Amino acid sequence: MALAVPEFLGGGGPSIIAQQATPILLVALGQCVVLQIGSIDLSNAATGLFACILAALTLGPLGVASPVLCLAVVTAIGVINGLILVYTQIPSFALTLGTLGVMQAASLVVTGSNVVYVMDNMAVVAWLFTVQVATLPVAFLIAVALAVVLWAFLRFTVPGQGLAAVGYNERAAALSGQPVRALKVLAFGLSGFFAGLAGLCVISIAGAASSIGLGSDLLVPSIAAALVGGTAITGGACNPLNVVFGALFVALIPVGSAAVGVDPQAQSIVYGAVLIVAVAATMSRSRHGIVK
């Protein structure tokens, strides 16, 4: 990008990329935890959008309590997903695909298919992107800090190592005494929590929310960011620090292709091709003999 458009680096390009990458990164962090246990969460982006809508509706009357309520609601949705998964044995793909539909319908019903604007107390969340450190929005720096915390949790704590054990071999993890059900519920709860943070970031950027507005297209980029960051879709391998770079890379593709003059109708081709190459180049297959 710097070679093709020299003014990109000095013209606020990194700040734009960081802003675009922040919601992707937060959803991807939740997704990588679920992928870590060998499952997938197709509903977390829609859950994040629901948190955004809920924030738009409640910031005025509730003020600083609104973000807490939003995070509590979407974390509970993630926990419910996990509970249904472990007690019904529905495959995570089918379960979260159903939850995706439920969340999309809930967003339509709650908004009445209209745009919901934040009328009061916008300052409660606006600082996430109006305050900058070294030209980077503070929301991005917070997301990176959360990635570091998540990395430490997965690497140095017993529950974190238990999540990896479930992803490597669930039956062996159960036989070794790991609380497999509780760990799965934890993974989906974290996915809901990070999706809620992404929703708060979206409302901070847009100041409004709708079922088809900003944040409605986070699912594919977030999964791509997790995979580009080296998360194994077969489970057991996850490094949230690498996911930070995956999110930045994914956010750069559409912005970069537009900046160098790629036709808008061809940008999806560039996006898909680059992602395939990036995932092929970055994923380690040494730990898995079979790729499904």
Q: Mean pLDDT, 10 residues at a time, over the chain (292 residues)?
A: 74 83 95 93 94 93 94 96 93 94 93 88 91 90 96 94 91 90 96 96 91 84 88 85 92 78 75 75 53 43
Beta bridge partners of 76: none
**Contact partners, residue 174, CB within 8 Å, separation at least 6:** 180
**Contact partners, residue 259, CB within 8 Å, separation at least 6:** 1, 4, 5, 8, 13
Strands (DSSP E) contained in the chain are 116-117, 132-133, 136-137, 208-209
* Confidence (pLDDT) at 7: 74
34 in a structural domain: yes
112 in a structural domain: yes
* Confidence (pLDDT) at 217: 84
Total structural domains within the chain: 1
Place of tokens 């990036």: 278
* Confidence (pLDDT) at 252: 86
Beta bridge partners of 117: 208
50 in a structural domain: yes
90 in a structural domain: yes
133 in a structural domain: yes
253 in a structural domain: no
280 in a structural domain: no
What tokens appear for 92 in the block? 């995570």
* Confidence (pLDDT) at 216: 81
241 in a structural domain: no
**Burial classification of residue 281, based on how many CB atoms lie within 10 Å of its CB (0-12 exposed, 13-18 middle, 19 or more buried):** exposed
Domain containing 183: what range? 22-216
- Which tens digits make up the pLDDT trace of 41-94? 999 999 999 999 999 999 989 999 999 999 999 999 999 999 999 999 899 999
* Confidence (pLDDT) at 5: 74
Beta bridge partners of 45: none
